Amino acid sequence: MKRLWTAILIIFATIFCAIHTKAQNKPEIEKNIVPVCVYKGDTIPALQIRNIYIYPEWKFKNNRERVRYNRLVRDVKKTLPIAKLVKQTIIETYELLQTLPDEQEKEKHLKAVEKGLKKQYMPMMRKMTFSQGKLLIKLIDRECDESAYGIIKAFMGPFKAGFYQAFAAMFGASLKKEYDPEGIDEMTERIIILVENGQL
């Protein structure tokens, strides 16, 4: 019986020590630091709130237009990230080209970039529909403020730009297509703004 009381006493002592130690080693309360502004002696948190875009409801003449709109939303969501990636690649390539010592090194680097892009993105491009390909050409113009033809010409020369333009023309597309957010591409621009803002 004495052993039983001793065992119970040891168990209680162990539990008490564990609880006491845990209470002493409490983790510090996590502090979130936010920007503040002082207004009439009061310190007020100053948080940036995301813009919310509200457009009047788009009036569809018929069900066909609604289907076209839904397809355009799908295509924008698929091609916009690629257009943004193209812009980033152009910026990085341009910046790197500025550091290379001569034309031969620049040419070598551009060939490597072209080869890498083809390897990485050709499988993705092959899965695109024709309308997605045409939209991507326009979105590249929107993101880069330069047509796909102009970009290819600037980096790879007029011969390759002409070759790719002729290839696109065989399928009824044009690398010289420009993005018109206030005209023919008004619906596309509205979709892009809503997608970028996480509202669509």
pLDDT confidence of residue 4: 52
pLDDT confidence of residue 74: 92
Model pTM score = 0.68
Helix (H) or strand (E) holding 165: helix 158-170
Residue 109 · residue 52 · CB < 8 Å? no
- How does pLDDT run across 79-132, given as a tens digit for each residue? 898 888 888 888 887 787 777 777 787 778 777 877 877 777 777 777 888 888
Tell me the two tokens of residue 101. 């010592």
172 φ/ψ sector (left φ>0, alpha ψ -120 to 50, else beta) = left
pLDDT confidence of residue 12: 52
CA distance 105 to 34: 47
pLDDT-derived band at 15 (thresholds 50, 70, 90) equals low
pLDDT confidence of residue 40: 85
pLDDT confidence of residue 77: 92
Any idea what DSSP says for residue 28?
A: P
Residue 161 · residue 153 · CB < 8 Å? yes
Closest CA relative to residue 155, chosen from 100, 94, 101, 112:
94
Instruction: Count other C-beta atoms under 10 Å from residue 38's C-beta.
Output: 9
Percentage of the residues of the chain whose pLDDT score is greater than 70: 84
Residue 156 · residue 110 · CB < 8 Å? yes
pLDDT confidence of residue 71: 92
- How does pLDDT run across 49-66, given as a tens digit for each residue? 778 888 888 888 888 988
- Furthest-apart CA atoms within the chain: distance in Å: 99
- How does pLDDT run across 140-154, given as a tens digit for each residue? 888 888 888 887 787
Query: Per-residue pLDDT for 18 more than 60?
Result: no
- How does pLDDT run across 22-35, given as a tens digit for each residue? 545 555 556 677 78
Query: Per-residue pLDDT for 188 more than 80?
Result: yes
Query: Per-residue pLDDT for 177 more than 70?
Result: yes
Tell me the two tokens of residue 76. 């924008």
35 φ/ψ sector (left φ>0, alpha ψ -120 to 50, else beta) = beta
Length of the chain: 200
Per the prediction, the chain carries an average pLDDT of 78
